[in-house]
Amino acid sequence: MSVSLELQSANRMFEGWHKKYRHRSSALNCEMTFSIYLPPQVDEGIKVPVVYWLSGLTCTDDNFSHKAGAQRWAAELGLALVIPDTSPRGEGVADDPEGAYDMGLGAGFYINATQAPWNSHYNMYDYIVSELPALVEDVFPVSDQRAISGHSMGGHGALMIALKNSDRYSSVSAFAPIVNPTLCPWGEKVFGNYLGDDRSEWQQYDTVELINAGYGKGLPILVDQGSADSFLEQQLLTDNLIAAAQQQKLDAEVRYCEGYDHSYFFMASFIEQHLRFHAQFLA
């Protein structure tokens, strides 16, 4: 795989390295950035497994990198962390015409758009599932064992992608995910614009719809949701996930965390548990 990576920054952390790179994405037709944390085990010649982290609305790779405190636990457990940006960016990339935060730049929703002008760049599903892992596994000392996690919009992406590709991911976890986007305002706005008016096309990117269709059998799933999350009732619809997982008898643990909100204070409190959850399924 011939891709030119441009190193943007490198920081020593917990005897490993946290690095940010820029590269040209063929899936997204633009320049993209991602961060990677390589734990100290790679210095011993070990190819380590990877946990992919998908961030939420308005975020870049920096939010998780700087706020979650995940590198400490990744170093202990021997896990690489790969943290992509949340959407295509740059000159010529479409954005919400009204400048809203919930569509366009920072709101890729990890799907492949089919409608103009979005379909020129917004193919985050292909980027996350195919292009980025191929690049990471070709360039860095990592194995082809993968887990995936995310927050909010990224939690939606992690769950949906893992359900559709359970042969590629050993486990999936999420914080405050958008689990039923076809029925919430964020999802209806974005899916209507990115995918068009045919709601049957939306279902392939909806976690609850995928579970109801039989996806996810045998896939270990962990979801944490804060009880004080202001987006819970209107946007996140966690109870719909619980009902679908119970109906389909999935290996899913969905936990309400009393008093926690939607912020990175919540994620920093539980990220160790999530990484330990993934580590038990990654050799």
Catalytic residue positions, numbered: 152, 229, 262
Rounded CA gap, 42 and 75, in Å?
Answer: 10
Rounded CA gap, 222 and 171, in Å?
Answer: 8
Rounded CA gap, 79 and 64, in Å?
Answer: 15
Strand order of the sheet with strand 221-226?
A: 6-13, 16-25, 30-38, 80-84, 48-54, 142-151, 172-175, 221-226, 252-257
Task: Output the CA torsion 263→266→267→268 (10° steps).
Answer: 110
Largest CA distance in the chain: 53
Give the up-direction half-sphere exposure of residue 162: CA atoms within 13 A in the CB hemisphere: 34
**Location of structure tokens 């490198």:** 10
Q: How far is CA 161 from the centre of its chain?
A: 8
The distance in angstroms from the start CA to the end CA of the chain is: 26
